Structure 1
Amino acid sequence: MSGLSKTERAGCTNILKLMSKGHLLSLTDTVTNKMIAVENVAEASETILCFTKSAEELLKRKKVHRDLIFKYLVGEGVVMPPNSEKHQLVKRTLELWSSGKAVADKSPPGQRDDTRPRTATETLSTEGKAEVGFDPQVLGQQFCQWFFQLLNSHNPSLGQPPQGWGPQHFWPDVKLRLLAKAGSEQMEDFLGAELVSLRLLALIKEERLLLSPNLQPHGLRTLASPHGPVLVAVAGTIHRDEACLGIFEQIFGLIRSPLENNSWKIKFMNLKIRGQDALGGTDTVAPALSYNSTDLQLLCS
């Protein structure tokens, strides 16, 4: 009988969904000693879960490749170095499930109770309020987890239901500056919520990029000024399928919207992308931020 908790069962189901049909059927044979014949993918998944004694046992199986677990963690907004070994990814996944912070419901939109896209800060509103004890670094970390999980959900290779991305998360006059260095250098500027939203979506959906932020202290910096925007700067790695293509640094300017429950919306963004060839052999495992507080203060003024 399966010894999985509700969270583990949901997480294992989401990982099995990332497997090809062939691998899934083959895993069913392994788990059941070929004693049970299954008709389809849903039956295979259910049978595997029924015959699994523990989440760790399933994650450690050879056919559950490290890349599947890595993709699952990225989808959950969990940052791991791209060269992590399988046992490290297994350990982090089990920690996530025992903490109860995994997103259990990955059902397609329309099957959920609340299909309305959430704004950045309905997600953050509980801890992100500017009262006594307001911690900008906590806000920055929660914001980045929310933002990149939402955006990455539109990458077809993750096989996840896309979440509510759109212009509602930006101020109408938002500005995006996109600087890309890969061989040559290109700079593009975009103005307006609709354009900015579509340009970022194209990176993920059309170009199939995955942005994995480094939320460790050396990869994330937040700066709050009394009357200006809260600035969040984050560094991370860029992937396409199994390949790490380079690193990115992104700065967000966040301002509260009094008309929308005082929730934070994005006022401006600077996104700097550097391909592997422009890095000159720099280690890309968990990139550090090159901006310091002075650079951010200049953007604030």
Structure 2
Amino acid sequence: MLNRASVRNVHIYDANDPGIVLGGLVLTNGVTTANFYSMVEIVFLFNQGYTLRDENGITVGRDDHPLQPGKYFIVTAGSITVSDETWLVRAAVPATTYPEEFCHAVRERDRGCVMTGKGARRAAVGYWVGLEAAYVFPLAYEHHWIKHNYGDWITLEPESRRSINSVQNGLLLWRDLRIYFDSYMVSINPDDNYKIVCFMYDDNNIAGTHLDKAFVEDPKRPVDQVLRWHFRQAVLANMRGQGEPVFECDFPSGSYILDDIMSGPKAGERMEFELFTRLAGYSICN
């Protein structure tokens, strides 16, 4: 299983206790020092102002300069508290479990991968092999969606009247990117001109690029509130402490999937996610 912390090349410390690593980041293209400050403020809470210094003791500006690999120290006269913001366990389950109305709406709007910009040449004849619809806010957590009123931001209701299935909560991606997106290894920052941020190695040369302007201006695109939620989740998953687990999703033929899940990390949360995702498209008929 991939350990997010083991491949980091940026490490964060408290300047007053430099022997303990508080978090870190796998640095990819496009991350600026201003981006880094905003990410730090998702992971940590401060009761006074703070600055970041590099390992040479130089204060890091909050600007558009590219962040460099290395050690960074939080300098503050106040306290540093690690955020306890909820991270919702998520794994890459087969997209075939998703409701047809959701997948159809996302395909018809995007017609190709929104991150790479590569279209589906045979979409006109219904050939979508390799492209999969991804939920921004996962279907398994519809109760969380309802509790925190995310449906209030949705203006295009699906036929099922379940706002979480709206096209405004979905993206069309190549299968590998859909898995990375579900695993919080790639995300989109709506507060930085819809920049694509890769939290693991970038095999698609998309890190630091931006979503196409035409897509951003489409009123059917995902709303900023759910994109922002996903980005915060990705920051927490990858930068807080030792990072959250990345779950296996490619089970070999003949393996006991239930046993593999229950013997892994966060077994209860993982099982809940798997069950709710796989069963969410079904209803009980009397």
Bigger fraction of residues in helix? 1
Q: Which of structures 1 and 2 has the larger relative contact order (alpha carbons within 8 angstroms, sep 6+)?
A: 2
Q: TM-score range by the shorter chain?
A: under 0.3
Bigger fraction of residues in strand? 1
TM-score (norm 1): 0.25
